[in-house]
Amino acid sequence: MTASTSRRRSILAAALALSLAAAGPALAHSDLHHAEPADGAVLRSSPPAISLMFAAPVRVMTLKLLDESGRERRLAREGERGAPVREVRATVQETLPPGAYRVEWRGASADGHVGGGTLAFRVDRASR
């Protein structure tokens, strides 16, 4: 290997290392990994709880359950509200009647990125 080839490889390796280091904060953004009920789920009965699982710890600032008219339904969040977590869980405080529901959440990842999302599910009558 010539000195010129060796130098080019060293420069490429350094550039790759710098680009990966710069990507670190972007990779720290936490995306919703899994939810229960899942987005688009059709349930035969009211869910006992709402669970959101993230790819990395998130400090969830807002978690709402809304019915199809936009009325907020009561949730009781479990665990520490201010600490970053990989999973947030909230007990549904009432039996949800048949209809469409929307879960809205907003949170901050370790790098300070604020994001959020929405998922929807439906409760159908149990008598099919």
Whether the pLDDT of residue 114 is over 60: the answer is: yes
For residue 18, how many other CB atoms are within 10 A of its CB? 10
Whether the pLDDT of residue 9 is over 60: the answer is: no
Contact present, 74 and 37 (Cβ < 8 Å): no
Whether the pLDDT of residue 83 is over 90: the answer is: no
Percent of the chain scored above 70 by pLDDT?
Answer: 73
Strands 72-73 and 49-67: antiparallel
Query: Could you tell me if residue 128 is inside a domain?
Result: no
The predicted model scores a pTM of 0.73
What is the domain range of residue 53?
Answer: 31-123
Q: Are residues 101 and 46 in the same domain?
A: yes
- How high is the pLDDT of residue 7? 60
Q: Are residues 76 and 56 in the same domain?
A: yes
- Joined tokens for residue 119: 């998922």
